Structure 1
């Protein structure tokens, strides 16, 4: 079967180390779209942090889709309609916020509208995330979060502090939530039903596609579920070693336009 859907991670995958889409990647995406292949950005970012890339790649037409918040949201890029939405409750927020305080970590919660933190001294990685995804940051006490529709919570701190805290996380956290470390300084916590893999599966089912007709391209641990969900998992040369063990294909690095190589070699060939 030919591949008809390709889910593509952003950081370390779609973008090079300068956070740019290379001309080769741009051209390959346009060729694939012209051939009727669905190119679907799959990211931990909210839609605001993806919109400029969707515009640049011309992926905002009818029946173009995007996976955001590590799979908690699947949206039609032209209309903004939610195809999949898995959010966190207020009690989830309170439990995770208390845990972050016990662990001594900075934490923020993300909605469609912005990033919210109860840390008076806002952490530098919260500011970094806001800049990366083009969203405002708000200080709010836990009591003020009661009516917010929270899609994702992130514990963010220096890598050594975060790793030490992860070792202390209670097993119940993993039982009740999807927990992924997306960067050395980011630990992301979402609804248990939310993952890139579940999102890709739901989208493929909506489009009437078999797993053999789907591909995913990624580089980090938060890409694992979508790589395991598709028939054709592709890992970047710069990807972590653990992921390369489950890859059907290893493509070139993000600085060598690895996404373009994968599309031309295994999708359009």
Structure 2
């Protein structure tokens, strides 16, 4: 019996145009509530952005945001995991000096921060994933904030692996680099991910891991899908995720998540 459902958002629950079949989902969500099934939205995105897709249902949804760094329910922050402040600025300095990457989002609890010299194109791109965004002339000027993630956009695919490998080696045990699709690399705490955050909630609810139905499409979903035998990788998923998922779901553009959930309900 399924007692909890966890869905990644972009590339999984949402279609490629960042929408979903609201009427279809609403009809299923009524049954999810009636059957007392917990519903989890687990994403690398910002909580403020995630809740806008489900604003009328937040009292019934648990949000695991920023790749597991923060968990919210009904607008209450349940758990949060932060980077060491000095480490954050050391890493940012390395990114600037060694790789000359400028498309950077520094993710805090209160907001996402970008350089005020960023392009309009980059700002438009990140607005798909962040709702609260502040422009700063320097990340060092940010005060009264705790940081949970650094997000990079790297259009050069050859550079992606180089940056990920070298940063993980230089900051071994202090950060982990994961891809989240759309040329995006997330730098996260090494022992903090969607799987840890969801397992913590399942334990609180007294739900066994194999009573979880989980869906994802990218490498930042691996630990989440590893939690359960009822794991589905989307038709458009990464090769690494496909290798660990138990099943395949139809494409996100074909409401694949909703179609599988309907079968289970």
TM-score (norm 2): 0.89
Q: Which residue matches 1:73? A: 70
Aligned residue number for residue 191 of structure 1: 189
Report the CA distance between 1:120 and its aligned residue: 3.6
Task: Classify the secondary structure of the residue corresponding to 2:206.
Answer: coil
**CA–CA distance in 1 between the matches of 2:143 and 2:87?**
11
Q: Secondary structure at the match of 1:158?
A: coil
CA RMSD of aligned residues (A): 2.2
Per-residue CA distance 1:10-36 (angstroms, 9 max, x = gap): 111111122111133342233222221
* Contact 1:110–1:153 under 8 Å retained in 2: yes
User: How far has the Cα of 1:117 moved from its partner?
Assistant: 3.2
Moved over 6 A (4+): none
Give structure 1 stretches of 5+ with no counterpart.
Answer: none
Instruction: Kindly indicate whether residue 6 of structure 2 is the aligned counterpart of residue 7 of structure 1.
Output: yes
Residue 176 of structure 1: SS of its match in structure 2? coil
**Displacement of 1:125:** 3.4
Match of 1:104 in 2: 100
Equivalent in the alignment of 2:54: 54
> In the alignment, does 2:158 pair up with 1:157?
no
Structure 1 residue 253 displacement after superposition: 1.0
Q: Which moved more, 1:203-212 or 1:167-176?
A: 167-176
Per-residue deviation, 1:96: 1.2
Give the structure 2 partner of residue 86 of structure 1.
81
* Distance in 1 (alpha carbons) for counterparts of 2:202 and 2:130: 26
Asked if 1:242 is matched to 2:237, the reply is no
Is the alpha carbon distance of 1:119 and 1:185 closer, same or farther for their aligned partners in structure 2, counting shifts above 3 Å? farther
- Residues 19, 108 of structure 1: alpha-carbon distance in 2 compared, 3 angstrom cutoff: closer
User: Which runs of structure 2 are paired with 1:194-213 in the superposition (5 Å)?
Assistant: 194-213=192-211
Specify the alignment match of 1:180 in structure 2: 178
Shift of 1:243: 1.4
How far apart are the structure 2 equivalents of 1:48 and 1:244? 30
Question: How far is the alpha carbon of 1:166 from its aligned partner?
Answer: 3.2
Q: After superposition, what is the alpha-carbon deviation per residue over 1:118-148, rounded to whole angstroms, capped at 9, x for unaligned?
A: 5744584354213542222311424313542
Q: 1:32·1:263 contact (CA, 8 Å) conserved in 2?
A: no
TM-score (norm 1): 0.88
Deviates more, 1:137-146 or 1:202-211: 137-146
Distance (whole Å) between structure 2 residues aligned to residue 174 and residue 6 of structure 1: 33
* Structure 2 unaligned spans of 5+: none
**Counterpart contact for 1:116–1:138, Cα < 8 Å:** yes
Distance in 1 between residues matched to 2:236 and 2:30, nearest whole Å: 24
CA distance in 1 between counterparts of 2:13 and 2:83 reads: 28
- Specify the SS of the correspondent of 2:82: coil
Q: How many matched pairs?
A: 261
Cα offset, 1:109, TM superposition: 0.5
* Corresponding residue number in structure 1 for 2:230: 232
- The residue that corresponds to 2:253 in the other structure is 255
